[in-house]
Structure 1
């Protein structure tokens, strides 16, 4: 139970040149007067029971349309969907809620749509209201709710009974940080219990920490289905391209078994090295000791602006720290044919005892979305070993000190 299978799935919407053309087709269906606009086409993938899969892609790629078809709120134009087990879904904000009914009344209606009887909803109501934490508003019309209150109640109802398959759209992004943590804790509990999870998120940390796989949609098609790190690296390279380059993105993005590299090539990263405190190249740093990142760059065409940045990731792909020459106030050469080294000094390495990777990027202005010249994922990987400082856990070491103070005796 909990398996999802999609075969040759497609969805097209009808586009009419005018309202009159729509009426004429309605009167004479044998003579179509519309143009089919395909939002999704030729989708094939399977998600096994207990898998957690993230759906990523740019706006308009078809992510929400796919989830609506999986939950039955949209009918496919072609292809087949097979779902095994009970499905719970949290799609568009407030979807399925009636604004004039109270939160409590909407809970009963949602429960019935989930196949629950009134007595079952009665039993679940205290847990639903406790998890939603909206207080007396449960007996107020939903139209008076804030967006955060709506998503609290919707998530509480959708997850009141452990499903076989949980499908979540981007609605969780609306909630406050406290409730997001609460939702992800419940999602992790479901994951540990073998629930199949499919969700859309623009948060790379959520995708990497929760998912076994990620599926990248681009212009209505699956362009990548792989480990989250590789898919998100490719997606990051894709969104950095301008629209013309995106049409032929294969010429601008390359992947091997290790990393993704992309960019227009107007400027290039020639080499990169990590130096220990003694100035020698290394791939093992000691916690608390100085280090230096040296990046050699080449400008191949005259540029209006140039920035070099680096991004530090842990072994799971979570972003730990990033900065660039723009934010650090260091201008770079712009003339074609120039070769130069950029040196980032990293005093007192504060990293934890694990492995890390460094991603490098040459781009325009303050981030790589402006104009990407050369993006190089996992340009370097290295380990951090124990230094002279005390042991600690985690990915970063804080400068903690400890003392003990004499307290006044407790009153008897």
Structure 2
């Protein structure tokens, strides 16, 4: 089993004002460069068998961190302590030589991963079968599409179960079929005890695969915790690039509620109602319900969009929409005005606990003009009183016709 420890890790790159400045520094031994820090004081521990997601906007330092962990880049300060065999899929093609065949590249990549020639030969049939690139295995890699390179690279990296598997965004290039196939293999490795580090912008992948998530921002770790909590904060941070007003409140049940926005409009109340108009926090599968929302304006607005997202207990999206997509414009609003919305729908979802996130914004999403984003604005439960037994997060009962 492998424990991975990152201790006060930092990486800086030298910047020279001109090409001659580098030579002058070398001759005089006097610094002529400035340092640009990509990562600063990163420290965390990943326990054996734990799965950790690393998220952040482009340029936050995610890929650099993975390169430092794998040893392909050396740190400016700090250290990484690791043990066991590490398999990493950091960049498209894993350094494949374009003029060599896929088979030849597979042998070279396997040796870089620490496999002996005999081990690679024994694994080749399985590598070919998993990659599913057919006769291209014996053709030059320069003839491959990006998706084919990903297929072969992933197949080689996971031919033998590693102690630590590190996956960057490379899998996002592959087709949907291969993504599902790859994530199934990753899940199988996890069940067998492989430690996982994964960089992805896919909320679903992070929340379904990972035990915890780490959020990087401008080279620092600003959040380390449960995937749902970190991803909520990350989404709020994206919406607040120009005016960072993200706050996190701890609810009575221990969950973290992320709240952000510039405040021109605020949610005053949100209630789930039954058919008679009575508030409910527990509904039957398929029961008609209404989501009542009270909004107060704190500034004159030419346009307002209300959006909501129903999530399951793991924070996975179940359904979401907004008044823009529903063709219900809310326009010409005045400061001090109140707006009440009622959204009616059947609770065609499975048994379990659910939460509702809300957003007040302009245009079609909260990234543009985020007035308010609120996670865990409302929580409710779904039970099955009178429907046939079923599994899953959606209730879509079929009509069965049997012919003999």
TM over 0.5: yes
Aligned pairs (5 A) from 1:5-404: 5-28=5-28, 30-243=29-242, 245=243, 249=244, 251-257=245-251, 258=255, 259-333=257-331, 334-346=333-345, 348-404=346-402
Determine the C-alpha separation between the residues in 1 that align with 2:267 and 2:320. 17
Determine the C-alpha separation between the residues in 2 that align with 1:133 and 1:312. 38
Determine the C-alpha separation between the residues in 1 that align with 2:54 and 2:323. 33
Determine the C-alpha separation between the residues in 1 that align with 2:26 and 2:152. 40
Q: What is the CA-CA distance between 1:378 and the residue it aligns to?
A: 0.9
CA root-mean-square deviation: 1.1
TM-score norm. by structure 1 comes to 0.95
After superposition, the C-alpha distances for 1:286-322 in whole angstroms (9 at most, x for unaligned) are 1122100001001101223210000010111110110
Q: Is the 8 A contact 2:94 2:109 kept in 1?
A: no
Structure 2 residues without counterparts, runs of 5 or longer: none
Determine the C-alpha separation between the residues in 2 that align with 1:252 and 1:41. 22
Larger mean Cα displacement after TM superposition, 303-312 or 3-12: 303-312
Q: What is the CA-CA distance between 1:233 and the residue it aligns to?
A: 0.6
Determine the C-alpha separation between the residues in 1 that align with 2:55 and 2:383. 35
TM-score norm. by structure 2 comes to 0.97
Q: What is the CA-CA distance between 1:108 and the residue it aligns to?
A: 1.0
Where 2:31 maps in the other structure, the secondary structure is coil
After superposition, the C-alpha distances for 1:248-267 in whole angstroms (9 at most, x for unaligned) are x3x43233243111111111
Larger mean Cα displacement after TM superposition, 296-305 or 320-329: 296-305
Question: 2:4 maps to which residue?
Answer: 4
Where 1:305 maps in the other structure, the secondary structure is strand
Determine the C-alpha separation between the residues in 2 that align with 1:114 and 1:252. 42
Determine the C-alpha separation between the residues in 2 that align with 1:283 and 1:156. 47
Q: Is the 8 A contact 1:313 1:320 kept in 2?
A: yes
Q: Is the 8 A contact 2:308 2:322 kept in 1?
A: yes
Determine the C-alpha separation between the residues in 1 that align with 2:84 and 2:302. 57
Determine the C-alpha separation between the residues in 1 that align with 2:4 and 2:42. 13
Q: What is the CA-CA distance between 1:131 and the residue it aligns to?
A: 0.7
Determine the C-alpha separation between the residues in 2 that align with 1:330 and 1:126. 57
Q: Is the 8 A contact 1:237 1:253 kept in 2?
A: no
Larger mean Cα displacement after TM superposition, 45-54 or 254-263: 254-263
After superposition, the C-alpha distances for 1:181-231 in whole angstroms (9 at most, x for unaligned) are 110111011000110000101110111111000000000000000000100
Where 2:302 maps in the other structure, the secondary structure is coil
Determine the C-alpha separation between the residues in 1 that align with 2:289 and 2:115. 60
Determine the C-alpha separation between the residues in 1 that align with 2:114 and 2:288. 61
Structure 1 residues without counterparts, runs of 5 or longer: 407-412
Q: What is the CA-CA distance between 1:27 and the residue it aligns to?
A: 3.1
Determine the C-alpha separation between the residues in 1 that align with 2:385 and 2:307. 27
Determine the C-alpha separation between the residues in 1 that align with 2:241 and 2:175. 33
Where 2:356 maps in the other structure, the secondary structure is strand
Runs of 4+ in structure 1 deviating by more than 3 angstroms, as ranges, are none
Q: What is the CA-CA distance between 1:399 and the residue it aligns to?
A: 3.5
Determine the C-alpha separation between the residues in 1 that align with 2:7 and 2:218. 18
Q: What is the CA-CA distance between 1:389 and the residue it aligns to?
A: 3.0
Where 2:45 maps in the other structure, the secondary structure is strand
Q: What is the CA-CA distance between 1:351 and the residue it aligns to?
A: 1.0
